[in-house]
Chains A and B, each alone.
Chain A
């Protein structure tokens, strides 16, 4: 087993809104190993992005962490002081956002922004930091970095901006990199380039990568382990190949069946009926009950716990039944 990069356990985030208080992330636990990619897979509103925001401490004001711990390097990120957290952001943990245009400051030259981690964390003089920034740009595959270091973010294409963002995130070779939908806004050919870059950097820096995405195919290609989220909880987790070969949770199975592959043209795709439950009206029992084809009385009464068996974990009362 490789070294543990980050261990999240029992992470719970509550949202307070005009409609009341609800758990947007409910007892999420996972372990990210160095040099490996863990994918948090789920559809919009399942809480995967909020999990990331909670880990890096960027929750919006209406959301707050009410339980759980995030262990990185023997420290609990949720307990450390603000100052310590700032010190850890960069050398220990960093994040790549989906929207590179808003994540970069539009009025600062990219060189200045790329040099910032070195200036702040390593107190590097401006000249050396700039040289490092150029080196970094070359490393993430930006052509002619010497001349482009003085450009502004809007002068770069979407793919190049995402490269810049990744460069910033890995500048101080963090132990853990969280990538929140890093390629969702990109075209397929650019997505392939960016994913290849992420994989290369993961190996070089021996980072634990947490890839947050809704795209099953990206998970299948890039991740080692997958955690499927639904309605704020992890419903199934395990090695990607095993989970995708033999999904044990009906939701995972439903998702896999919804992907238009192998189906005949014109034939109906299998789809999951309905929509995820309203966060403020999650029924007692299993949150997936209303859409599940196998639902039984026990699912309506009791919330299934995430039970582990041989590296696989499923939160379903009927997991045995679906396993064969």
Chain B
């Protein structure tokens, strides 16, 4: 792991034009000045509930959406300023694994055709079809499929196997960063563990970085080195996984963690469930000041008037939360 970030996102915002909402607003701010960094070989977990903008962020990083403002830099290069051939080279370095292994594979192509698909665009990677076939076999092996699986169609595979094909396709261009958008949420538990293990092995073998998007906190806790928590288009808390999970400073993070059901009785007895009041506000009409204040149990007038600045934890500087009244669980736990 090196210190200079591989992927550096600074202040990107994305607004969508949508049909008018109840208050007459038709501009949905899906991303609001997002900052994040990803270092080589690192896994950054991105946590948030549906509608918080995490998928838009993934799509923006894959250049499927163009941000209204802010910069994305990958190895110091801004992909939105690149021209055709350079852009293709950029694409090789950032690839994506999709959520739904049923919808993300074209049902009319065989596994081998799907895995080899990127090479139709990136023709210079392999000169001969024999090289390609050999590489497909390697990739199949890498993700734990049999060579005989090459000529089968997606619907002949189970969900876990399909996701392996999706992973092989993402690796076909030899990326440095793989954006995993809920890669295991469509899978059964026993299969989910297989795929998580595979992603882990691949990271160690290829030293790729993952941006791991998930709503499942236990999965994120298992795979991520650092975590970013999103709420209504903003990243409200970031820090190392242990820091964020053990000492959440943003009330939303704490509520999210407490809401997740846990298997172990000991954990259950220790933690107190925080049932958030109300619903996620409409992103068309986000609350003034702090976005979380409408559901926060310690909101004050300050929260309604002023957007909270990111404040770092004095003891662990890498751990920041956007909150006027950050929690200090260590103090309360000691009491």
Contacts and interface: CB of A to CB of B under 8 A. Distances in A.
When A and B assemble into the complex, do they touch directly, with CB atoms less than 8 Å apart? yes
Interface stretch (B86-94, B214-222, B309-317): B214-222
Main secondary structure of the interface of B (DSSP, over half): helix
B310 to A, nearest CB: 23
A43 B189 contact: yes
Contacts of A193: 275-276
Contacts of B218: 217, 259-261
A263 B219 CA distance: 11
Interface string A201-227: 000000000000011111011100000
A216 B268 CA distance: 14
Interface stretch (B72-80, B104-112, B122-130, B193-201): B193-201
Interface stretch (B5-13, B26-34, B171-179, B255-263): B255-263
B268 A187 contact: no
Nearest to A159: B279
A284 B192 CA distance: 27
B279 A254 contact: no
Contacts of A256: 263
Interface string B246-272: 000000000110111111110010000
Interface string A42-56: 011000000000000
A210 B147 CA distance: 44
Given A189-B256, A256-B263, A43 B225 contact: no
Given A188-B215, A193-B275, A217 B260 contact: yes
A216 B158 contact: no
B197 A187 contact: no
Contacts of B225: 265
B161 to A, nearest CB: 8
Given A188-B217, A188-B259, A220-B263, A196 B275 contact: yes
B188 A268 contact: no
A266 to B, nearest CB: 6
Contacts of A241: 265
A260 B261 contact: no
A16 interface: no
Nearest to B51: A187
Nearest to A245: B265
Interface in B151-169: 158-161
A263 B217 contact: no
B265 A268 contact: no
Contacts of B204: 266
Contacts of B260: 188, 192, 217
Chain B: number of interface residues, binned into ranges: 35 or more
Contacts of A159: 279
Contacts of B25: none
B288 interface: no
Contact of A192 (B194, B259, B265): B259
A310 to B, nearest CB: 20
Given A220-B263, A221-B261, A265-B222, A189 B255 contact: yes
A65 interface: no
Interface string B271-286: 0010110111000000
Given A189-B49, A196-B275, A269-B196, A275 B191 contact: yes
A256 B190 CA distance: 9
Given A192-B275, A196-B275, A260 B268 contact: no
Contacts of A196: 273, 275
Given A217-B262, A263-B222, A271 B190 contact: yes
Given A157-B279, A220-B261, A260-B219, A214 B197 contact: no
Contacts of B193: 258, 260, 269-272
B189 A216 contact: yes
Given A221-B261, A221-B268, A260-B221, A192 B189 contact: no
A152 interface: no
A52 B225 CA distance: 41
Contacts of B194: 271-273
A191 interface: yes
Nearest to A266: B200
Nearest to B221: A260
Most chain-A Cβ atoms within 10 A of its Cβ — which of B215, B217, B258, B263?
B263
Nearest to A262: B264
A77 to B, nearest CB: 30
A189 B260 CA distance: 7
A101 interface: no
Contacts of B276: 189, 193
A266 B221 CA distance: 10
Given A258-B189, A265-B225, A217 B261 contact: yes
Given A187-B280, A193-B276, A216-B189, 4 more contacts: A218-B261, A221-B268, A241-B265, A271-B194
30 contacts: A157-B279, A157-B280, A158-B50, A188-B215, A188-B256, A189-B49, A189-B255, A189-B259, A189-B276, A191-B259, A192-B259, A192-B275, A193-B275, A193-B276, A196-B273, A217-B262, A220-B264, A254-B190, A258-B192, A259-B189, A260-B223, A261-B264, A265-B221, A266-B204, A268-B200, A269-B193, A271-B190, A271-B194, A272-B193, A275-B158
